[in-house]
Amino acid sequence: MITLKQLRYALAVEKTLHFKQAAELCHVSQSALSTALGELESQLGLQIFERNNKKVLLTPIGKEALVIAGQIMLQTADLYHLADSSKTPLSFPISVGIIPTVAPYLLPKIFPALNQEFPQAKLNVVEEQSALLVDMVRSGQIDTAILALPYPCDGLLTLEFWQEDFYWVTQKDAAHSQQTEVSSDEITENSLMLLKEGHCLKEHILDICKLSEQSANHGFAATSLNTLIQMVQGNLGTTLIPAMAMDQLVEGNKNIAAVHLQEPSPHRRIAFIFRPNYSRLSSIETLAAICKKMLAGA
């Protein structure tokens, strides 16, 4: 009979493509793992892995089998957690992924509230880009993730809790810096710097401003908003940041100015994403309410 242990071992090898590393990941000996996988292949009547002394490869039919195995393990985890739906929110650990253009500005606001209202709460936070977080939620590696919408999340549900606009950041003595609003056309008159490829904020800005890739200054490959602000301070160009980052990046800085982007609002929407059968929805709803409360009071 096929066991969950065998499926877990097979998925570990798929992840590492290495029997020794997979055995360490599963806290078993390499021989025990190899024996279990041999039994699994025998029971299924197919070869999942091609092995030699140097590497491990997935067979085409093995890939199909492991997709099903992943679904079984995910559904099993949901079954084990079914009773959690009736428990007090945040009374158990929850793993939350957050994109880099939200994490540094949201987490300092919500952790004090969490510690006060839910001292027993344990959040395991993963900071990654949107594409990887979507995959991690789908596969069950994390419970939920906070993304900026619009972003493709096919097969997942969303719980929106915040909307915000973008602000153009420039030197205080630059053209248009004393305005209350700035248009996309006025922005393109300047050297606009954005984040590197893979950050959804860049795509949102290009879309909202109806700009092409060539409209942004690609002389820099910034991976954080803080780096972009440092570049603006050095008079190397201008940038756009979301409203939630204003208090950390702009306020109190005498050398730069922030001007509201005059384009239809909201410029981005912030939401939790989660699997349709996720059984701990009350915890996500509680986190969303705290996030909204703390952002509104900022």
CB atoms within 10 A of CB 253: 14
Nearest CA to 97 out of 121, 130, 139 is that of 130
Q: Are 240 and 199 in contact (CB under 8 A)?
A: no
Model confidence pLDDT, tens digit, residues 159-178: 999 999 999 999 988 878 78
* Amino acid identity, position 101: T
Strands 157-164 and 268-274: antiparallel
The label of the residue with tokens 């099903």 reads 68
pLDDT at residue number 175: 79
- CB-count burial class (<10 Å; 0-12, 13-18, 19+) for 73: middle
Kindly report whether the global pTM for this prediction surpasses the value 0.85: no
Q: Are 242 and 268 in contact (CB under 8 A)?
A: yes
* 3-state DSSP assignment of residue 116: helix
* Amino acid identity, position 96: V
Q: Domains of the chain by range and CATH?
A: 4-80 (1.10.10.10), 90-162+268-296 (3.40.190.10), 166-261 (3.40.190.10)
| pLDDT per residue rounded down to tens, the chain (298 residues) | 888 889 888 988 988 888 888 899 888 899 999 999 999 998 999 999 888 767 888 898 988 988 888 888 877 877 776 666 656 778 788 999 999 999 999 999 999 999 999 988 889 999 999 999 999 999 888 999 999 999 999 999 999 999 999 999 999 888 787 889 998 888 875 688 888 887 899 899 888 888 776 656 555 668 899 999 999 998 888 999 999 999 999 988 888 999 999 999 999 999 999 998 887 888 999 999 999 999 998 5
Nearest CA to 147 out of 177, 109, 106 is that of 106
pLDDT at residue number 259: 94
